[in-house]
Chains A and B, each alone.
Chain A
Amino acid sequence: MIPELGHFALILALLVSLVQGTLPLIGAHRGNSGGRAWIALARPAARTQFLLVVFAFACLTWAFVANDFSVVYVAQHSNSRLPLEYRLAGVWGGHEGSLLLWMLMLSGWTVAVSLLSRHLPDAMTARVLGVLGLIAVGFLAFILFTSNPFERLLPAAEDGRDLNPLLQDPGLIFHPPMLYMGYVGFSIAFAFAIAALLSGQLDAAWARWSRPWTTTAWAFLTLGIALGSWWAYYELGWGGWWFWDPVENASFLPWLVGTALIHSLAVTEKRGCFKNWTVLLAIAAFSLSLLGTFLVRSGVLTSVHAFATDPRRGIFILILLAIVIGASLFLFALRAPKVGLGGSFGLVSRESLLLMNNVLLVVAAGSVLLGTLYPLLIDALGMGKLSVGPPYFNAVFVPLMVPLLVLMSLGPLARWKHADMAAVLRRLTFALAAAIAIAIAVPLIYGKWSTLTAMGVLLAAWVAGGSAVAIIERLRAGGLGAQPLHWWGMHLAHVGVAVFVLGVTLVSSYQEEKDVRMEPDDTVSVGGYSFRFIGVREATGPNYRAMVGELELSRDGKVLRTMKPEKRAYLTSAMPMTEAAIDTGLLRDVYVSLGEPVGERAWSVRVYYKPFVDWIWGGCLLMALGGIVAISDRRYRMKKAAASAAIVQGAPA
């Protein structure tokens, strides 16, 4: 009964979102004379839709908690022996449920807009909610017509097929919701851009409204990607943190364009220029989120994320993608010529530096997109099968990031309109000298010189140095306390980038890896740490049996701890799983995973030494934190009157 109620709630939600996606838009178009009643429909419709989707989601969650194996989706992705936390996370462990999670996020973002938009003109709110309603129509139809999570299985299964063991991990609980918060969050930036195009009011006010939403989405996406990367690192047992796998790229593309978008929104808000460009970026960021959903969900890619393959689903998302891109670009073509150019700026100015940031990020995104889609295109054309691996992305992406990092220190110090580059460089002299010293020192400390390593450290130190100079200058001027939160947020995020770059540089330069065959009492050492193999014993978990290895970790003859990597065999699926044992530290991880038994008492064992690897995710965390700090700035919470007054002043002729 409860699954049927959930199904029914989704159908009602579709009907409500049809209302939300049409009437308010028409009302806003008609204007005050005839449209007011229809405009007023937007908020109640958005809230009703949200409640219905929450209800449907709760019904599916209930089916998982109650082990209702008469629901196909539950029978496929759960099992009565699965621990409760994984039954809860199992709701988004497969295709249908993860789409429902997508939808839940969308209606959550929509209701947030409806609650936090009191300072917006009603017509603008109606348009934004209307556009979000149309997106909801697309996704609810997708769920109901191709991916219904409430479909029944008659007769019911005795027990479920169990969740893929790879997904039985705390990472699964947090990674998809975070990632989807980000993915779907770009729909708000998109809806604001479309609403602005529809109204013809593409101005600084629009940029100011859209900024906190975009930054929030970006922060969640950053966290989601970082969690996914961390999960792959410890769960796949290969010790890698990024594989340039098409599915990873699918989440990275909206991130790159979203990063360009938050920078270009800053220019649009402060100086009124780049308006058309900003709108295009908002459209692109959301389209890439949809493309990511298409790539991951359609089964054209194969990975842990690609669940069932059903061509109808792929075609549905492809059509949705075509409609979104086609309609928004058509609207853009109609409206863009009428948009003013905004404030002028000199060739050397903060505007032009941010423009370069945008060009570099978008070109980098383009090169990643090309590498991701090229094999699919060649395959679709029947021209053979090929793959584009990490060497391509490293050869193209990394060189494009170098100038971006160089610019990162200059941008925040340069003035709007006209900047004196010589003066900026003079302010950075000390930071540059310090960065060079660090870049030479670090490889020497590790005892292995490499110019590339020194370059990476130099760039990281340069970026951090740029922020340090900015902060020290303000401190000297005595105005540190008066600095707005968005300024702190920016520097926090930039320092995060520096931390990230340092982590990537050091781990790729100085990591050590060994695959060895070990018998009890054998030792192997990497990076100054030695592992003594004690042996392997059996253990049982709630829904698996495991072989638990024991290795004694020591350094300079001093025993540090015992590490226990596992090899699990899950009972229902008989699927083997490697659980690595990791000793995490600020300056290094040591990582050990079990291979397979190779003889009477011998096992193949893989050990890693990974210096500074946690700085990669630490840097991402700082970036996301920077985003959150930036949107906490009180200037985004101005009253309606104050906001419009400020905008009239700030608006360029």
Chain B
Amino acid sequence: MKPRHKRFALIGGGLAVIGIAAVLVLNAFQSNLVFFFTPTQIAAGEAPKGKTFRIGGLVKDGSLQRQSDGLTVQFVVTDTAKEFTVAYTGILPDLFREGKGVVAQGKLGENGLFTASEVLAKHDENYMPPEAQHAVDEAHKAARTVKQ
């Protein structure tokens, strides 16, 4: 085999790996990107039905309800403008509190109930998840524009 052919073979091999990786990445991107929606966006019907996405905001005071099995809970997430109900079965993270920020990942059902597969843990009691902060900020911004 001539050196020129050998080089072609090596470069071809490298390109093939990159090509395969690109296909894998595009494929994974198509099905695994998780988008984030604020309660206001959900109220406006922007969130997809039956597809996994993330929501964030504040847990409304006094909204946490626990069912008799001890594990299934419902709570209301608000961005101070709009709100909606989240259902979750499992153990909530240590820092889950009413009145504090929360981010949850799951799907929106036909009945408008968001069923979370994951409620995200935070690491500090003062810490506000940026997504939750974003949701509240957006709602405030919208409120200001309306007033003007």
**Which residues on A are within 8 Å of B, measured CB to CB?**
164, 166, 236-238, 302-304, 344, 346-347, 352, 355-356, 359-360, 363-364, 366-367, 370-371, 374, 384-389, 391-392, 395-396, 399-400, 515-517, 573-578, 593, 595-596, 598-599, 602, 604, 606
Contacts and interface: CB of A to CB of B under 8 A. Distances in A.
A359 B14 contact: yes
A513 B70 CA distance: 17
Contact of B125 (A236, A366, A575, A593): A575
Interface stretch (B5-13, B106-114, B140-148): B5-13
Nearest to A309: B130
B33 A304 contact: no
Interface string B1-34: 1010010011001100110110011011101111
Chain B CB count within 10 A is highest, among A359, A364, A371, A388, for A359
Contact of A576 (B6, B9, B10, B94): B94
Contact of B17 (A360, A395, A515): A360
B35 A384 contact: yes
Given A304-B123, A359-B13, A359-B14, A396 B69 contact: no
Nearest to A593: B91
Contact of B6 (A347, A360, A371, A391): A347
Nearest to A375: B33
Contacts of A595: 91-92
5 cross-chain pairs, A with B, having the tightest CB-CB distances, nearest first? A517-B70, A598-B70, A595-B91, A385-B36, A395-B28
A302 B121 CA distance: 11
A179 to B, nearest CB: 18
15 contacts: A347-B9, A355-B10, A359-B14, A386-B33, A387-B34, A388-B32, A388-B33, A388-B34, A396-B21, A396-B25, A400-B21, A517-B70, A575-B125, A596-B91, A599-B70
B25 to A, nearest CB: 5
B136 to A, nearest CB: 13
B32 A604 contact: no
Contacts of A395: 24, 27-28, 31-32
Interface residues on B, range: 35 or more
A356 B10 CA distance: 9
A399 B21 CA distance: 9
A352 B31 CA distance: 35
Contacts of B20: 399-400
Contact of B24 (A367, A515, A575, A593): A367
A389 B124 contact: no
Contacts of A164: 123-124
Given A386-B34, A387-B34, A576-B94, A598 B66 contact: yes
A96 to B, nearest CB: 17
A360 B24 CA distance: 13
Contacts of A304: 123
Contacts of A574: 125
A389 B20 CA distance: 20
Contacts of A575: 94-95, 124-125
B94 A386 contact: no
B23 to A, nearest CB: 10
A396 B131 CA distance: 26
B91 A166 contact: no
Given A166-B123, A304-B123, A573-B125, A389 B71 contact: no
Contacts of B90: 515
A162 to B, nearest CB: 11
Contacts of B24: 367, 395-396, 399-400
A164 B18 CA distance: 42
A395 B20 CA distance: 12
Of B9, B35, B70, B123, most buried by chain A (CB within 10 Å of CB) is B70
B33 A385 contact: no
Contacts of A237: 94
Contact of B34 (A389, A599, A606): A389
A156 to B, nearest CB: 22
A359 B36 contact: no
B11 to A, nearest CB: 10
A61 B140 CA distance: 44
A366 B21 contact: yes
A578 B33 contact: no
B145 to A, nearest CB: 17
A517 B14 CA distance: 54
Contacts of A392: 28-29, 32-33
B60 interface: no
A580 to B, nearest CB: 12
A577 B91 contact: no
Given A303-B123, A395-B32, A515 B92 contact: no
Nearest to B33: A386
Nearest to B27: A395
Nearest to A603: B70
Contacts of A578: 94
Contacts of A577: 94
Nearest to B1: A347
Given A164-B124, A595-B91, A363 B21 contact: yes
B134 interface: yes
Interface string B46-62: 00000000100000000
A548 B134 CA distance: 38
A652 B71 CA distance: 69
Contacts of B36: 384-387
Contacts of A364: 21
A576 B124 CA distance: 10
B28 A396 contact: yes
